[in-house]
A = this chain, B = another copy of it.
Amino acid sequence: MAQKEISSAVIERLPRYYRYLDELLEEGVERISSAELSRRMQVTASQIRQDLNHFGGFGQQGYGYNVQSLYKEIGKILGLDRAQNMVIIGGGRLGQALANYVRFEKRGFRVIGIFDRNPDLVGNRVRQCEIQYVGQLEQFLRTHEVEIAALTIPRDEAEEVARLLVNNGIHALWNFAHVDLDLLLPENIVIENVHLSESLMKLSCKLNKDRWLSEE
């Protein structure tokens, strides 16, 4: 049973634990010590024990973690123990890439609608899903249970679409637009940003570090 005080720092790390546990299961590993997990993940064993301690009673002295139970328990915390419906707003290449990503489905995320305002894209299919005109989004949300919306549209359009989504019951936005929606929407809306330009800039910053340091 999860304890109440799981911090956002731990939440940040949980998906990585989940990925390693998944790999261990694929390898047929049934149990693992914090020392061995530490070696694989290059995280200190004490950090691991501290993080996984939140899930109570799994790490036993001299036995280690039961991989299957820990995987299942973390999966629950991540909300992966049930199907969650998702819509994608923006049917361009990025939206299509997300809709096409089989791995999401394995985790319970089902893309049930893709919307775009570009008539050239409307009617195209990505796997089972046909791209619909964005004018139909509101009606769609009224007649389907949707939990998550991914926004792969330009910055200028994001705020208006986000408000429409929120006004129609969406609580979780996976935001690829370069705008801080969390500053524009009610506090109870959960948002996860993927800012691709910013990620590329960080890479470039690290790459160019030597150059500007030597300018001193």
Using a CB–CB cutoff of 8 Å, the interface residues on chain A facing chain B are 1-2, 4, 11-12, 14-16, 18-19, 41-42, 76-80, 84, 92-94, 96-98, 100-101, 103-104, 107, 109, 147-148, 171-174, 178, 180, 183, 190-192, 194-208, 211-213, 215-216
Contact = CB atoms under 8 A, between A and B. Distances in A.
A42 B183 contact: yes
Given A42-B183, A190-B206, A201-B107, A195 B15 contact: yes
Given A42-B183, A198-B15, A192 B178 contact: no
A68 B11 CA distance: 38
A193 B172 CA distance: 23
A203 B101 CA distance: 17
Q: For the complex formed by this chain, how many copies does it contain in all?
A: 2
A2 B215 CA distance: 9
Contacts of A190: 203, 206-207
Contact of A205 (B77, B103, B195): B77
A197 B76 contact: no
Given A100-B93, A183-B42, A194-B196, A78 B216 contact: no
Contact of A204 (B148, B191, B205, B206): B148
Q: Which of A100, A205, A215: most chain B Cβ within 10 A? A: A205
26 contacts: A4-B213, A14-B202, A15-B197, A15-B198, A16-B198, A42-B183, A76-B212, A77-B208, A78-B204, A84-B207, A92-B97, A93-B93, A93-B94, A93-B97, A93-B100, A94-B97, A103-B197, A104-B197, A148-B203, A171-B207, A174-B199, A174-B200, A191-B203, A192-B202, A194-B194, A194-B196
